[in-house]
Amino acid sequence: MSTRFSTTTRATPTGLVLALVGELDSSTAPKAQEAIRQLTLRTGDQLVVDLSGLEFCDSSGIAALIAARSLAGRAGATIALAAVPRHLSKVLGLLGLADLFGTHPTAEHAQEPATEH
């Protein structure tokens, strides 16, 4: 079990970015859950969960991501994952959870307005 984990939150014009850094496992998931509970989202906001610094994520971490999605939904906000590590992307796909989250290559990209092609 790991203790190397931190969260940071920053406001953006489109909502909030929650960065999860380190190893998200059963020993650190309570810290992630607490950070999620403290988020204040409004209708129309977008919560971007920045995973660029995430080194490991087990089932407890996936539960935290689902909790973040639930919080966003209750607030009338949307959620997107940014910089999803390859191993986590594969696990989300195997579990049938990939469609629950929009994904973007970076947190900055997630905040850009959608463009039509």
The pLDDT tens digits of the residues spanning 9-20 come to 999 999 999 999
Q: Is residue 23 part of a domain?
A: yes
Q: Is residue 115 part of a domain?
A: no
pLDDT 10s digits, 50-103: 999 999 999 999 999 999 999 999 999 999 999 999 999 999 999 999 999 999
Nearest partner of 81 among 14, 17, 29, judged by Cα: 17
* CB neighbour list of residue 5: distance below 8 Å, 6 or more residues apart: 20, 21, 22, 23, 24, 28, 31, 32
CA distance 42 to 64: 20
Q: Is residue 86 part of a domain?
A: yes
Q: Is residue 25 part of a domain?
A: yes
Question: How many alpha carbons fall within 13 Å on the CB side of residue 100?
Answer: 18
Q: Which domain covers residue 33, as residue numbers?
A: 5-110
What radius of gyration do the chain's Cα atoms show?
13
Number of domains in the chain: 1
Q: What is the pTM of this model?
A: 0.92
Q: Is residue 54 part of a domain?
A: yes
What rounded mean pLDDT belongs to the chain?
92
Q: Is residue 116 part of a domain?
A: no
Q: Is residue 88 part of a domain?
A: yes
